[in-house]
Structure 1
Amino acid sequence: MLYYRYKGRSLQGKLKKGKLKAETEMEAVRHLEQQGVTVFEIKALDSFLYKDIAIGKPIKLRDFVIFLRQFSTLIEAGIPINESVDILAKQTSNKAFAFVLDKIKENLQEGQSLSDAMREHRKYFPELLTRMVHAGEISGNLDEILDNMANYYEKQYALKQKIKTALAYPLMVSVFAIMITIFLLVYIVPIFTDLFASFGETLPIYTVFILKLSTFIQNTWWLLLAFILFLVLVASFLVKSEKTAYKIDAFKLRIPIIGSFIQKSQLTRMTQTLSTLLNSSVPILQSVKITENIVDNRLIAQVLNLSRDALERGQSMAEAMKPHSVIPPMVVQMIAVGERTGSLDKMLHKIADFYEKDLDEASDKLKALIEPLLIIILAIVVGAIVLAIVIPMFTIFELL
Structure 2
Amino acid sequence: MKRSQRSWHLRLNHFNIIRTTHMDFEQYLTRQRTAIQKNKYSKIKINELFVFARQFHTLLKAGIPLFRSIEIIISQTQNKHLKYVCLIIKSELLEGSSLSDAMKLFPHIFPNFFISLISVGETRGNIDESFNRMATYLDKKRELQNKIVNALIYPVILIATGLVVITLLISFVLPKFVSIFIQNETPLPFITQITLGISAFITSHYIIILACIMASVAGIGINYNTPKGRLQFDQIIIKLPVIGPIVYNIAIIRFARTLGILYGSGIALITSIEMARDIMGNLYLGGFINQAIKSVKEGKGVAGTLNDSGQFPPILVEMIGTGEETGTLDTLAVEAADFLDNETEYIIRRQIAYIEPIALIFIGGLIVIIAASLLLPIFRLASSIHH
Q: Report if aligned partners of 1:299, 1:326 keep a CA contact under 8 Å in 2.
A: no
Aligned to 2:225, which of 226, 240, 243? 240
Give runs of aligned pairs for residues 185-196 of structure 1, distance below 5 A. 185-196=170-181
Cα distance in 2 for residues equivalent to 1:239 and 1:190? 41
SS at match of 1:125: coil
Query: What residue in structure 1 maps to residue 370 of structure 2?
Result: 385
Query: 1:305-358 CA deviation, whole Å, 9 max, x = no partner?
Result: 221122122222122212334312232222222222222112212211111222
Query: What residue in structure 2 maps to residue 273 of structure 1?
Result: 258
Kindly indicate whether residue 133 of structure 2 is the aligned counterpart of residue 148 of structure 1. Answer: yes
Provide closer, same or farther for how the CA distance between residues 328 and 53 of structure 1 changes in structure 2, counting only shifts above 3 A: closer
Q: Report if aligned partners of 2:37, 2:106 keep a CA contact under 8 Å in 1.
A: no
Q: Report if aligned partners of 1:56, 1:95 keep a CA contact under 8 Å in 2.
A: no
Unaligned runs of 5+ in 1: 1-19, 28-43, 45-49
Unaligned runs of 5+ in 2: 1-26
Cα distance in 1 for residues equivalent to 2:284 and 2:377? 53
Aligned to 2:201, which of 216, 230, 248? 216
Q: Which moved more, 1:55-64 or 1:157-166?
A: 55-64
Aligned to 1:111, which of 69, 72, 96? 96
Query: What residue in structure 2 maps to residue 40 of structure 1?
Result: none
Cα distance in 1 for residues equivalent to 2:258 and 2:247? 17
Report the identity percentage. Answer: 28
Query: What residue in structure 1 maps to residue 296 of structure 2?
Result: 311
Give runs of aligned pairs for residues 68-83 of structure 1, distance below 5 A. 68-83=53-68
Cα distance in 1 for residues equivalent to 2:69 and 2:377? 76
Q: Which has the higher contact order (CA 8 A, sep 6+)?
A: 2
Q: Structure 2 counterpart of 1:327, which letter?
A: F
SS at match of 1:322: helix
Task: Give 1:88 shift.
Answer: 1.4
Cα distance in 1 for residues equivalent to 2:155 and 2:283? 25
Provide closer, same or farther for how the CA distance between residues 344 and 56 of structure 1 changes in structure 2, counting only shifts above 3 A: closer
Q: Which structure carries more helix by proportion?
A: 2
Q: Structure 2 counterpart of 1:228, which letter?
A: I
Cα distance in 2 for residues equivalent to 1:57 and 1:92? 15
Aligned to 1:262, which of 247, 257, 263? 247
Aligned to 2:311, which of 309, 326, 335? 326
Q: Which structure carries more strand by proportion?
A: 1
Structure 1-normalised TM-score? 0.82
Q: Structure 2 counterpart of 1:85, which letter?
A: I
Give runs of aligned pairs for residues 94-173 of structure 1, distance below 5 A. 94-173=79-158
Cα distance in 1 for residues equivalent to 2:38 and 2:256? 38
Q: Report if aligned partners of 1:253, 1:259 keep a CA contact under 8 Å in 2.
A: yes
Task: Give 1:231 shift.
Answer: 1.9
Query: 1:182-206 CA deviation, whole Å, 9 max, x = no partner?
Result: 1111011101222332344543333
Aligned to 1:341, which of 305, 326, 337? 326
Cα distance in 2 for residues equivalent to 1:51 and 1:158? 27
Provide closer, same or farther for how the CA distance between residues 389 and 324 of structure 1 changes in structure 2, counting only shifts above 3 A: farther
**Matched residues, number:** 358
Cα distance in 2 for residues equivalent to 1:174 and 1:234? 25
Q: Structure 1 counterpart of 2:136, which letter?
A: N
Task: Give 1:398 shift.
Answer: 3.0
Provide closer, same or farther for how the CA distance between residues 265 and 371 of structure 1 changes in structure 2, counting only shifts above 3 A: same
Moved over 4 A (4+): 20-24, 50-56
Aligned to 1:252, which of 229, 237, 255? 237
Cα distance in 2 for residues equivalent to 1:87 and 1:383? 61
Q: Report if aligned partners of 2:237, 2:247 keep a CA contact under 8 Å in 1.
A: yes
Cα distance in 2 for residues equivalent to 1:255 and 1:55? 30
Cα distance in 1 for residues equivalent to 2:30 and 2:227? 29
Q: Report if aligned partners of 1:69, 1:147 keep a CA contact under 8 Å in 2.
A: yes
Task: Give 1:54 shift.
Answer: 5.2
Kindly indicate whether residue 266 of structure 2 is the aligned counterpart of residue 301 of structure 1. Answer: no
SS at match of 1:334: helix
